[in-house]
Amino acid sequence: MENQIPAAVQLTENCAHCNTQAKPEDTFCTQCGYPLKGTEAEQNIFISERQVEEIDIFTYNKTLRQASNTLYYLAGIFILSGLVYFFIHKDDEDVVTVVITDLIMAAIFLVLGAYSKKKPLACIISGLSLYVIVQVLNAIVEPISIAKGIIIKIVIIGYMIKGIKSAMEIEKIRKEKHIA
């Protein structure tokens, strides 16, 4: 049987926002910054601000997933282009080098995609840098390559930049929460 604790007593026991145990002398919750001894208006403002943040985090997470998917998509592109190159240039001397390079790139993007769930900012920045370096190297070897699939390239870079921005915003919100 659970005892009904009066609201005034509960306030000093547990945080009404995150349910962390609070000491009677705490003015703010040590976990989430909820104004334990604030006025009702202050407490309501705190709750509504946190709700807005949660909606923001939800949106940012969606953008992050798109960036992660872009990394997987790039892995797929490298596998595909390796296979296509292999079947077209089967008898060339450098076929093995090109195909292995493509497969290594695919493996790197697969790892970045998988690991981006844990470390989104680092993985997406690495992925974007690597992608840009590959494009620049291709452009040096074959200048016309820069124009090939330019729309897709812009979309890929766009998704990753949006992902980087979202990862930064999420980190900012999380930091503010812990400081509060």
- Would you tell me which residues interact with Zn ion (CB under 5 A)? 15, 17-18, 20, 29, 31-32, 34
Shortest Å distance, C-beta 34 to Zn ion? 4
Considering beta carbons, is residue 22 or 125 the nearer one to Zn ion?
22
- The answer to whether 103 touches 82, Cβ cutoff 8 Å, is yes
Q: Distances from the Cα of 24 to the Cαs of 7, 16, 34, 51, 178, in angstroms?
A: 14, 14, 14, 26, 20
Two tokens, residue 20: 């962390």
Considering beta carbons, is residue 17 or 153 the nearer one to Zn ion?
17
Considering beta carbons, is residue 15 or 170 the nearer one to Zn ion?
15
Nearest of 145, 156, 1, 149 to residue 73 by alpha carbon: 156
Shortest Å distance, C-beta 32 to Zn ion? 3
Considering beta carbons, is residue 29 or 123 the nearer one to Zn ion?
29
Two tokens, residue 173: 């919100």
Determine the Cα–Cα distance for residues 9 and 84; give it in Å rounded to an integer. 71
Considering beta carbons, is residue 17 or 65 the nearer one to Zn ion?
17
Nearest of 77, 71, 96 to residue 86 by alpha carbon: 96
Shortest Å distance, C-beta 15 to Zn ion? 3
Shortest Å distance, C-beta 54 to Zn ion? 14
Nearest of 131, 176, 152, 164 to residue 63 by alpha carbon: 164
Residue 175: phi and psi, rounded to 5, are -65, -45
Shortest Å distance, C-beta 107 to Zn ion? 43
